[in-house]
Amino acid sequence: MNTVVTLNENSPLVRIVCSQCQQVILEHNGKTDTVPLMNISKPLPGVIKADAHTVPFNHFHVSTGHLDFSQSIAKGVLPQFDQFTIQKHLGSGGTGNVYLAENESKELVAIKLLRKPENPEMLEYFIREAQILFEMDHPNIVRLKGQGNFQGSPYIVMEYIKGKSLEYVLKKKRLPPLNATNIVYHVLKALKHAYQFQVIHRDIKPGNILLTSQGEVKVIDLGLCKIVDDTYNITNTGQVMGTMFYMPPEQFVDSKRVDHCSDIYATGATLYHALSGVPPYEEYSDDVQKLLEAKSKDIYIPLEERHQDIPPGLINITKKAMAHSPKDRYSHPQEMRESLSIVYKQLAEQLSS
């Protein structure tokens, strides 16, 4: 059992010490090597609860490097760690590398390994993602299956989604309005569920939306998410997170002050991309300063000028979602979903007639 030492009786922050070797596993001292913890209503598998905060139970010593299986995979060698056999590299998220793996039951899973385990901020993002995934169980959000720590490299185990990202699909062609509407509708279902837990994603974009072979829509990469009213802000003021094309203008000014209206904007920008084949502000992609200036002044090529066949209803929905001022956007994912539902029915009727 690990020993829990409260740093301050007036503070919920704790230091977790290994009872066997007395080494500090996780701590927050307000200065260096800090890993603030967060409240959740139920514990992760394999964790202990301490002072209403949840921390990994397994020995969370961190290494000074990170595991990288790419060279072994390139040589045709399938690496093994814990009870998993790595099959191939799937991609990289905001906090780590993702691999396809097979467990002892021959089930395919997705393993995300923390890229920089020695970085306390990255470690917190990683722990936060595992906690949020376990807290939220929804068909449009990728599910957590477990977590662990191998040779100082923390990892989480997620359900393996067989399919392609929306980003991959959009590199080949833009989507028909009916398809684009359906995908964004399900993204909004995921966001509505997340907001019930006061969770903001902060990085909605085509690369974080998976389309399964069964036609399901899954939102992934919650590592950049923010807990509303979270006392432990881990993004410094002025530090820009997320992807620039889809980020609302206020997120550039102060990335830790975003709220649900920021996700609404990013969802609208994703819909813009799906309908037009290019992201908004794509015309400024070669000059970051011009892109920032255009964002601040709300200057981009209108959706109706990209293609003439985009339904006016979807143009209006996209404009409202991407309104420069948060107060002019949809007030809630459900409100945007209701608008999309009306247009979807109209489009379906037109196709069937």
The CATH fold of domain 163-352: Transferase(Phosphotransferase); domain 1 (1.10.510)
The residue-averaged pLDDT of 117-146 equals 75
pLDDT at 61 over 70: no
pLDDT-derived band of residue 117, with 50, 70 and 90 as boundaries? Answer: low
More confident residue, 282 or 258: 282
Q: Which of 140-149, 249-258, 286-295 has the lowest mean pLDDT?
A: 249-258
Highest mean pLDDT among 81-95, 112-126, 143-157, 198-212 belongs to 198-212
pLDDT-derived band of residue 127, with 50, 70 and 90 as boundaries? Answer: confident
H/E stretch holding 130 reads helix 120-135
Q: Kindly report, residue by residue over 295-336, the tens digit of the pLDDT.
A: 999 999 999 999 999 999 999 999 999 999 999 999 999 999
CATH 3.40.30.10 given to domain 70-159: no
pLDDT-derived band of residue 277, with 50, 70 and 90 as boundaries? Answer: very high
The Cα 210–Cα 183 span in angstroms is 10
Question: What b/e sequence results for 92-101 when a residue is b if at least 16 CB atoms lie within 10 Å of its CB, and e otherwise?
Answer: ebbbbbbbbb
pLDDT at 14 over 60: no
- What is residue 10's predicted lDDT score, i.e. its pLDDT? 42
- What is residue 139's predicted lDDT score, i.e. its pLDDT? 92
**How far is residue 285 from each of residues 267, 290, 295, measured CA to CA in Å?**
19, 9, 12
Give me the residue spans of the domains in the chain: 3-56, 70-159, 163-352
> What's this model's pTM, rounded to 2 decimal places?
0.74
**How far is residue 301 from each of residues 47, 53, 276, 305, 306, measured CA to CA in Å?**
50, 47, 11, 7, 7
Catalytic residues: 203
The residue-averaged pLDDT of 199-221 equals 89
- What is residue 324's predicted lDDT score, i.e. its pLDDT? 95
H/E stretch holding 99 reads strand 96-102
- Hey, is 238 helix, strand or coil? coil
Q: What is the mean pLDDT of the chain?
A: 75
The residue-averaged pLDDT of 180-207 equals 91
- What is residue 57's predicted lDDT score, i.e. its pLDDT? 33
Q: Which of 38-47, 303-312, 342-351 has the lowest mean pLDDT?
A: 38-47
pLDDT at 230 over 50: no
